[in-house]
């Protein structure tokens, strides 16, 4: 099970939000490169970066992402990737995988991205009350998350990131029964995000949802609830 520490960027700083709400922003560092280097040195083989400014439509942190990627740190990154050109630019900067959310509902865009960068594309399926959300989690779609994941699998999407919005930033543990439903849809590799708050939560995921490929850890690391090095040793390299 891949352990993926997260760096959320807002105005060039490392932050965390509560349930995706901008007003809940807590700054943990003003040195994103230093944080990424620390996580790499702890043994992380992939870092999950979200450009919150780009997601909210009030700026971007592309230069910061470029600096981190240029330091040779493997990244997957999302937030406001709404054009083929931006996805291509990030990949050219050295990003291992780009993550799209809302734009995955645009079939022509999804098809073009998969045609151009098949294995370098992940789709974030952001879920609240069983419904796929769009526009930076602000709007509900008309489809269940399982229906949307089934559609993505049919399109040949290799990686799906399941994010439980209600659990994001809460440290309250994952909604494991909802996560287990993903097993019914084969094809994509699944990465779980939202609610991971302890080593016990990681143990629960590995026991109850062993098909999960990776788990994203954010606030639990920044609040000292999970030691990344210990998590990597215990769950990524058992």
Token pair 């083989």 in the structure block, residue: 45
The Cβ of residue 155 has, within 10 Å, a number of other Cβ atoms equal to 15
Q: Which of the residues are catalytic?
A: 8, 126
Rounded Cα distance between 104 and 106, Å, is 5
């Amino acid at each position: 099970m891949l352990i993926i520490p997260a760096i959320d960027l807002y105005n060039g700083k490392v932050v965390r939000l509560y349930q995706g709400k901008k007003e809940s922003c807590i700054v943990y560092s003003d040195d994103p490169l230093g944080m990424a280097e620390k996580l790499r040195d702890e043994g992380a083989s992939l870092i999950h970066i979200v450009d919150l400014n780009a997601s909210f439509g009030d700026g971007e942190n592309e230069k910061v992402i470029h600096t981190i990627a240029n330091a040779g740190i493997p990244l997957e990154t999302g937030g406001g990737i709404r054009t083929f050109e931006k996805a291509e630019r990030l990949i050219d900067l050295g990003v291992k995988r780009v993550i799209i959310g809302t734009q995955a509902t645009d079939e022509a865009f999804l098809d073009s991205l998969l045609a151009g960068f098949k294995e370098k594309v992940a789709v974030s399926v952001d879920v609240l009350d069983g419904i796929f959300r769009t526009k930076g989690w602000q709007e509900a779609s008309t489809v269940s998350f399982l229906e949307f994941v089934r559609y993505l699998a049919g399109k040949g999407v290799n990686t799906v990131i399941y994010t439980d919005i209600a659990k994001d930033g809460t440290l309250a543990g994952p909604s494991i029964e909802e996560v287990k439903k993903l097993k019914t849809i084969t094809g994509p590799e699944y990465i779980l995000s939202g609610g991971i708050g302890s080593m016990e939560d990681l143990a629960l995921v590995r026991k109850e949802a062993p098909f999960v490929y990776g788990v994203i850890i954010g606030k639990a690391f920044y609040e000292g609830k999970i030691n990344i090095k210990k998590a990597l040793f215990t769950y990524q390299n058992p």
